[in-house]
Amino acid sequence: MCRVFHRAIPGTRRNEPVTAIKIMIRGVNMSLTYKDAGVNKESGYKQVELIKNFVSKTYTPEVLSDIGGFAGLFQIDTKAYEEPVLVSGTDGVGTKLKIAFMMDRHHTIGEDCVAMCVNDIICQGAKPLFFLDYIATGNLEPEKMAKIVEGVSNGCIKAGCALIGGETAEMPSFYKEGEYDIAGFCVGVVDKKNLITGSNIKEGDIIIALPSSGIHSNGYSLIRKIVFEKEIMDVDTYIPELKATLGEELIKPTRIYADIVTELIDKFNIKGISHITGGGLIENVPRMLPKGLVAHMDVSIIETPEIFNLLQKWGEIELKEMYGTFNMGVGMVLVVGEEELSGIEEYLKDKPEKYYVLGDIRCGDEGVVLW
Domains of the chain: 2-194 (3.30.1330.10), 206-370 (3.90.650.10)
- Stretch 13-33: mean pLDDT: 50
pLDDT tens string 151-163:
999 999 999 999 9
In the chain, the percentage of residues whose pLDDT exceeds 90 is 75
User: Percent of the chain having pLDDT more than 70?
Assistant: 86
Q: How many helices (H) and strands (E) does the chain have?
A: 11, 15
Mean pLDDT of 149-177: 94
Q: Which residues pair with 357 in a beta bridge?
A: 208
Mean pLDDT over 176-197 rounds to 96
- Residue 23, pLDDT > 80, answer no
pLDDT at 7: 42
- Reported confidence tier of residue 56, pLDDT bands at 50, 70, 90: confident
Phi-psi region of 326 (alpha: psi -120 to 50; beta: other; left: phi over 0): beta
* 209: phi then psi, degrees, rounded to nearest 5: -125, 145
DSSP codes of every residue in 254-323: PPP-HHHHHHHHHHS-EEEEEE--TTHHHHHGGGGSPTTEEEEE-GGGS---HHHHHHHHHHT--HHHHH
End-to-end CA gap in the chain: 52
For residue 325, pLDDT over 50 is answered with: yes
Q: How far apart are CA 285 and CA 306, in angstroms?
A: 23
| Measured distance CA(107)–CA(96) in Å, rounded | 13
Mean predicted confidence (pLDDT) in 70-76: 90
Which residue type sits at 114? V
Nearest to 249 by CA among 38, 81, 99: 99
Q: Give the confidence band of 53 by pLDDT, cuts at 50, 70, 90.
A: confident
- SS3 (DSSP) at 13: helix
User: What three-state secondary structure class fits 210?
Assistant: strand
pLDDT of residue 125: 97
Of 26-40, 295-309, 310-324, least confident by mean pLDDT is 26-40
What average pLDDT does range 45-53 have in this prediction?
69
Overall size of the chain counted in residues: 371
pLDDT in tens, 219-250: 999 999 999 998 889 999 999 999 999 999 99
Q: What is the mean pLDDT of residues 54-70?
A: 83
> CA 275 to CA 268: how far, in whole Å?
18
Question: 318: which residues sit within 8 A by CB, 6+ positions away?
Answer: none
Mean pLDDT of the chain: 89
Partners of 168 in the β-ladder:
4, 135
Query: What pLDDT band is residue 28 in, cutting at 50, 70 and 90?
Result: low
- Confidence band (pLDDT; 50, 70, 90) for 39? low
Amino acid of residue 65: S
Confidence of residue 18 (pLDDT cuts 50, 70, 90): very low
